[in-house]
Amino acid sequence: MIAFTMKVDALLSRTRPGWVGLGQLAVAALGVHLAADRIDDHLLQGLLWMNEHMVSAIALKLGLHGIEPDAFISPSAWLALLLELAVDAYLFFSLALTAQDPELAWKSYQRKLSVEAVVVPLVWIPVALAGSWVVGMAVEDKLALWHPQAAMALGWGVAALVGWRLAWTGWKRVVGGLDVPKRRTKGLGWAFPLLLVGALAAWHGLPFHGLLP
């Protein structure tokens, strides 16, 4: 029985890198999802503004009926979903097949410096921390009726633990997994959508938002 247990333990140990990677990606994906929910709202407002100030005026001049506002709900939702999936895929490939605990060095980072090397680690911080915060607040919500103060303390504790064990280690893997670029402009095309998601995740997904004026 002891020998069998040891074999099972060894097997689970070999699969650990995969599970850790999934956890790191899942935490970041939670933050991306939170940001995408806000992008959906902003896109809808933008489309409604365009419809009111541009499309409807053109339609009126042509003697046509304008577009109903409800028609923009589905397109904005689909655009936000496609952006969310694209960013998730980008972060997945930034994390996949990287060392579990890389040694980070400034000289090594300087050789890898590019737009991607700045943007991806910068975006990983807010999305992964926002995902950690979501997990912590889910724990707090579940226990709030039992004991509000204890639930709050436990929620903060879980958020900190997830941030340390998954968000931080995932950031190290992303930075350690950077390649030496052929051009310093590598990743320029992804910079705006990634920074947009990161900014919204920071603004709407981290607890300091309510402390700002």
CA dihedral defined by 93, 96, 97, 100, rounded to 10 degrees?
140
Q: Is residue 213 a part of any domain in this protein?
A: no
Q: Is residue 4 a part of any domain in this protein?
A: no
- Report d(CA 55, CA 68) in Å as an integer: 11
Query: Does the structure show a pLDDT above 60 at 159?
Result: yes
Q: In the predicted model, what is the mean pLDDT of residues 139-155? A: 88
Q: Between residues 110 and 68, which one has the greater pLDDT?
A: 110
Number of structural domains, the chain? 1
Residues whose CB is less than 8 angstroms from the CB of residue 162 and which lie 6 or more positions away in sequence, other chains included: 27, 131, 132, 135, 136
Which residue range(s) make up the domain with 169? Answer: 20-207
Q: Is residue 13 a part of any domain in this protein?
A: no
Q: Is residue 12 a part of any domain in this protein?
A: no
Q: Is residue 8 a part of any domain in this protein?
A: no
Q: Is residue 113 a part of any domain in this protein?
A: yes
Q: What is the pLDDT of residue 9?
A: 46
Query: Does the structure show a pLDDT above 70 at 7?
Result: no
